[in-house]
Chains A and B, each alone.
Chain A
Amino acid sequence: MLKEVFNKPTKWSVMRQLIFKEIDDLIIDSLGIVCFISFFVGGVVSIQTALNLTNPLIPKYLIGFATRQSVILEFAPTFISIIMAGKMGSFITSSIGTMRVTEQIDALEVMGVNSLNYLVFPKLIALLLYPFVIGISMFLGILGGWMAAVYGGFASSNDFITGIQQEFIPFHIAYAFIKTFVFALLLATIPSFHGYYMKGGALEVGKASTVSFVWTAVTIILSNYILTQLLLT
């Protein structure tokens, strides 16, 4: 499938419009839910860390440190990607699957359009912007943690900010974005595959969306493990 995606490219003037449309559908439309979830989950991570620090000898800045590590290393890249496997993935599978069921893909092929390039390539390009979504998620997760810690009375602002800066390893950011880039490729291709090659009617579109979510989530989790093993050990 991937070979065909890059074969016989669609006319650039048409492809440009498709890419902008996919950026709007996949990236811009996901920002609301990503911001909402990141902010509140960051807050919850901060509160739970604070509530587990019962020993008075443990410094309060650990709340900021733990929030930063959780959000940057796992929550933003991995768990937001799993959520996006549900949101973006089911959107991609159902939209391509519906085109399959209603013969729109056949119509493209009969016209002489490389339907895989027309449908999947713009999604791949749009998802190159996915790391920006994860960047925003990281920022809002930590902001949510800071607000929960400070306004919940668990730590002072200075303590939290000291924790954020404590033992900062820049490679962790690189690691998070390398993972994000791989997840973006999985998010674009697996749901497209399940939509494009589905057979049947409306019921099968729903089933294909579910199967695509499961496989995307599984491959994200597995590749997360492999990448972590390769990059951090």
Chain B
Amino acid sequence: MIEVKNVEKSFGDSKVLKGISTIFETGKTNLIIGQSGSGKTVLLKSLLGIHTPEKGTISFDGRIYSNLTDDQKRALRTEIGMVFQGSALFDSMTVEENVGFPLKMFTTKTAAEVKERVDFVIHRVNLDNAHHKKPSELSGGMQKRVAIARAIVNNPKYLFCDEPNSGLDPKTAIIIDNLIHEITVEYNITTVINTHDMNSVMEIGEKIIFLKQGILAWEGTKKDIFKTDNEAITDFVYSSNLFKKIRKAQNKED
């Protein structure tokens, strides 16, 4: 569980996060949604320790990040898996080397043990024939799978994804969403996904927080979205005609 308490972050005179408080639950896919510039990425980077909030605390299962020593922070980071928006795979390495990288860096596993674990994870993300390919030889969807494999190879407790299906076609995006969700449940990971893709919200949004101009404007589940009267979230979600129709249909069913 990740607990965020009253987090504030500014860049110069501009206050980007204005007292965010929420809990990201273990074993669930927690989504941060909001318009561009709403503070989603800053919140995600604050959770990752890339940005240091001026006020408030972020605690990982009771460990308050700002109170940790450098060594403890480094140890905590080995419990984190991250899927970057552009996958951020190491160009000079093959798929197998990319996935095995955290194990080689942070564990004392033998080469055979690393190989076994890498094979298992690559199989888990359905990339069995891509072991020796370089990232440049892979499609966007395959690169995302490799990034997910690399993020989970060291059994992380926390998984962060920054717009994991941006640039993907709708079908591949759903496959990636479902893969992240399955892995979250299977390994009981606290997963936090930063997205503005409403398909993701409807597919895997077990807990959703909506940011608007740095304020947590709404939180709930994907089912709550259909019922809420919160103007901020309805404006954002139903800006598309398709979702307006879905909402009407959903409300009629209820």
In the docked arrangement, what's the CA distance between A14 and B90, Å?
A: 14
Residues in B neighbouring A13, C-beta threshold 8 A: 104
With most chain B CB atoms within 10 A of its CB, the pick from A102, A103, A106, A112 is: A112
Residues in A neighbouring B160, C-beta threshold 8 A: 110
Q: Does A199 contact B (CB under 8 A)?
A: no
With most chain B CB atoms within 10 A of its CB, the pick from A14, A98, A106, A107 is: A107
Nearest CB to that of A7 among chain B residues? B70
Interface residues of B in 50-80 (CB under 8 A from A): 50, 73-75, 77-78, 80
Complex interface bits, B22-56 against A, C-beta within 8 A gives 1, otherwise 0: 00000000000000000000000000111000000
In the docked arrangement, what's the CA distance between A189 and B99, Å?
A: 29
Q: Does B102 contact A (CB under 8 A)?
A: yes
The answer to whether residues A110 and B106 also contact, given A102-B86, A104-B88, A104-B91 and a CB cut-off of 8 A, is no
A8 touching B88, Cβ below 8 Å: no
Q: Does B85 contact A (CB under 8 A)?
A: yes
B88 touching A107, Cβ below 8 Å: yes
Return A132 CB to nearest CB of chain B, in Å. 24
Q: Does B238 contact A (CB under 8 A)?
A: no
Q: Does B176 contact A (CB under 8 A)?
A: no
Residues in A neighbouring B86, C-beta threshold 8 A: 102-103
Q: Does B82 contact A (CB under 8 A)?
A: yes
B85 touching A103, Cβ below 8 Å: yes
Q: Does A219 contact B (CB under 8 A)?
A: no
In the docked arrangement, what's the CA distance between A111 and B61, Å?
A: 19
B82 touching A14, Cβ below 8 Å: no
In the docked arrangement, what's the CA distance between A14 and B85, Å?
A: 26
A111 touching B84, Cβ below 8 Å: no
Interface residues of A in 82-115 (CB under 8 A from B): 98-99, 102-104, 106-107, 109-113
In the docked arrangement, what's the CA distance between A110 and B47, Å?
A: 11
A98 touching B82, Cβ below 8 Å: no
Q: Does A3 contact B (CB under 8 A)?
A: no
**Tally of A-B residue pairs with Cβ under 8 A?**
52
Main secondary structure on chain B at its contact with chain A?
Answer: mixed
Contact of B105 among A11, A99, A104, A110 (CB under 8 A): A11
A110 touching B91, Cβ below 8 Å: no
Report the contact-size class of chain B (Cβ under 8 Å from the partner): 20 to 34
Residues in B neighbouring A11, C-beta threshold 8 A: 104-105
Nearest CB to that of A103 among chain B residues? B88
Residues in A neighbouring B78, C-beta threshold 8 A: 111-112
Q: Does A157 contact B (CB under 8 A)?
A: no
Complex interface bits, A1-20 against B, C-beta within 8 A gives 1, otherwise 0: 00000001011011000000
Contact of B84 among A14, A98, A106, A113 (CB under 8 A): A106
In the docked arrangement, what's the CA distance between A210 and B175, Å?
A: 42
B74 touching A110, Cβ below 8 Å: no
In the docked arrangement, what's the CA distance between A113 and B90, Å?
A: 14
A111 touching B105, Cβ below 8 Å: yes
Return A195 CB to nearest CB of chain B, in Å. 14
The answer to whether residues A107 and B84 also contact, given A98-B91, A112-B74 and a CB cut-off of 8 A, is yes
In the docked arrangement, what's the CA distance between A112 and B78, Å?
A: 6
Nearest CB to that of B84 among chain A residues? A103
In the docked arrangement, what's the CA distance between A152 and B31, Å?
A: 77
Nearest CB to that of A11 among chain B residues? B105
Return A93 CB to nearest CB of chain B, in Å. 15
Contact of A104 among B90, B104, B106 (CB under 8 A): B90
Residues in A neighbouring B92, C-beta threshold 8 A: 21
Nearest CB to that of A113 among chain B residues? B105
In the docked arrangement, what's the CA distance between A102 and B92, Å?
A: 13
A111 touching B50, Cβ below 8 Å: no
Question: What are 19 inter-chain pairs, A to B, with CB distance below 8 A?
Answer: A11-B104, A11-B105, A14-B105, A99-B90, A99-B91, A102-B86, A103-B84, A103-B85, A106-B84, A106-B88, A107-B84, A110-B48, A110-B49, A110-B77, A110-B82, A111-B77, A111-B80, A112-B73, A112-B106
Other than the given A14-B104, A102-B88, A107-B82, 11 more pairs (CB < 8 A) read A11-B105, A13-B104, A14-B105, A98-B91, A102-B86, A106-B84, A110-B160, A112-B73, A112-B75, A112-B77, A112-B106
